[in-house]
Structure 1
Amino acid sequence: MKYSQITAMLAITKASLRSIFRSPSAIVFSFAFPFIFIIVFGFIGGGNGMQSIKIVMDPSADTTNVLYTALKNTNTVRIIKFENDAALKEAQSKGNFAGIVNIKKNTEGPYPYKIELKSTTASNDRWPQLRSMLISTINAVSDSTFKNRPAIAQLDFDYKRDIAVIREYKTIDFILPGQLGFSLLSAGVFGVAFTFFNLRNQLILKRFFATPVTRTFIVLGEGLSRVIFQMITAIVIIGAGYLFFDFTLINGVTTFLAMLFLSFIGLNIFMGFGFIVSGLAKSESTIPPFANMITLPQFLLGGTFFSADAFPKWLQPISKAMPLTHLNTAMRSVAFEGQSLWQVKAEIGILVLWAIAVYIIATKVFKWE
């Protein structure tokens, strides 16, 4: 009877998967830890409050006054423009900017100017910051311009009138993709690094070599067990977010499957990092330092809790170069904005480049014995 590499691989997968489910650390980092943040932020509700304030100036706005100059020169606001109304409305429906601001001369009342603000529920994470910032700007300009006179302007804003109901951008819509990305990152790096180091150190790989199973199928078997476990994790995290915290899956099952596909790509990249750590580590105690050098910067700067736009300008290129940042961006674009995988092809392309680079390094440093 001919020896079956596939059967051997599946046997390795089954045994490895069983050991993963029996590992407390795997359960904690893949399920429990991300769920703690999802539950906390899910119950808090509201916006994430951390994104930079992008605004659009109304075409009829008076831009010759000191208020506009103050807005334009502040570091907390970025005025953006769109080629046409269709592009503006699409971006507005996705919550890509805080709101539309209009500065008008005031013909009624004691204020020389009035500022109008219009936005949508899709920007619930941004327009409250913008409203506060506009009030602060009015006060600052008034203090520098007048002493014993009324404020230079009033903010003409009414929630029911000026906030169009599209779909609400909630904290969970930002937090859940980040926590899913973190789960994939930690499991891929730490899980693979410890697994293959222990297999090598305990001479289990050497015993495998005494069997007809090839090295390729050994790696595939172990990798497949990790993929199965993490895909189950992804399904549970996304499903719990949708059922219990109203996480937005704008296109339903299609969006859900797209997020799983992105999770699969991200996990394979992070597993590559795990192979590198496994190859570089001289002892089990050296794995955490190596792994943390890879995971901690991405956890802190990869868009897990804050958008890259929230960081100082000098730090943003570093943040936007990280694979976790592109994974999180793609998943948020797919989930809330309703973009297809083709529309996030730039993010996927960068992830593929990361995968190629990581596995080239992994093949150079990985050790079998």
Structure 2
Amino acid sequence: MPTHTDSLPVWLAWLEQLHPAEIDLGLDRLRAVMDRLALPIAQAKVITVAGTNGKGSTATLTAELLRTHGYSVGLYTSPHFLLFNERVVIQGQPVTDAQMVAALHAINQARQDISLTYFEFTTAAALWLFCAAQVEYMVLEVGLGGRLDAVNVVDTDCAVVTSIGLDHMEWLGDNLDSIAREKAGVARRHKPLLVGPTPCADTFMAVAAQVGAELTLVEPVELDAAGQWQVRVNDQILSALPTPLLPLPSAVMALQVCAALGLTLDDARVRVVFDTVAMPGRLQRIEWRGRTLWLDVAHNPHAADYVARLLSAKHARWGIILGMLKDKDAAGVVQSLAPLNPDWRLVTLTGTRGQSADELAVKTGLLTAPNYASVPAALAAVAADPTIDPDMPWLICGSFHTVADALHHLNSETHG
């Protein structure tokens, strides 16, 4: 068992083998630990963000809008790409290794004989750090679902469900209504529940009525011909807003969270956030060896459709490096990406939920697509092939793991 003098990598390696299951939904274990910790969470306002897609970008934009308006903010997201510290951000900066180790040590002492999953343990550590920093707002991204996710151990002041799609069906149900009910489990009595455009409006209305939550169905917003948009935020109308670097639905939702919290927004500060705030792996563009790479974590048909609609207008044909976990709808993702007229490359993802490129080819029908043992191997092959049009951009997608592998490789090339 690690001690307070051990490094963060030692702690994280230990956490990975602490609990018998990677995913073990339920709040009883974590609630017992939180009771022992007695953290002063009520001193902060809590925003809980659930949804099939758009959770991380909505949480990030919400945190940055709050921070640029003078509030102290803790942001908790997952998973990470390069460093675990990316998951826990205070005032726009990831926490240090020393801070994270101190938090993990405190949680370990409090839990005693209670077994926690990796996500439960690190969620408790994030909450401990936010309380230690005395932040005014905690913005918490749900890991999976909502009702039984570790983040839901905290009562929220504003619940958000960004979108509903078919994903994680083995845990959340095999239809949209079941998934919607699980995600709506973050709602609380007499507190706002904001829901993005959804085919499950009736389900959310029923849940809100049962719980006593204050439901708002957030309407979609479109860009005008100049790439600008406007939105009403309570009694304010924010107009001529720039196209955000992150998805527009996430920007709209982040503004409505601020409205639900009763905040008055400054136009200039809002514009700065949308002009500057980006995230790794969300339509991230990188110039590499004379080629243009786009990285996106899209791992279900709904997310892939959004990516395809945005990128199809930029180029007539795309190369796609695709790697997916075995429990995802690979055929649906491939169908959603078809408008990009793809030149496919399939890659193997390792780990307990990973799948080989050969398995991916069978599931998607891409039996003639070249396949590779890893993302770096696929990138090397693309770079070395003189027959590939150098002007054709490449999309790397299908999983957080696919994008993380790409970022690790590209970072190692850049920094040696």
Which is higher, the Rg of structure 1 or of structure 2?
1
TM-score normalized by structure 1?
0.23
Q: Which has the higher contact order (CA 8 A, sep 6+)?
A: 1
Structure-2-length-normalised TM-score = 0.21
Identify, as 1 or 2, the structure richer in strand. Answer: 2
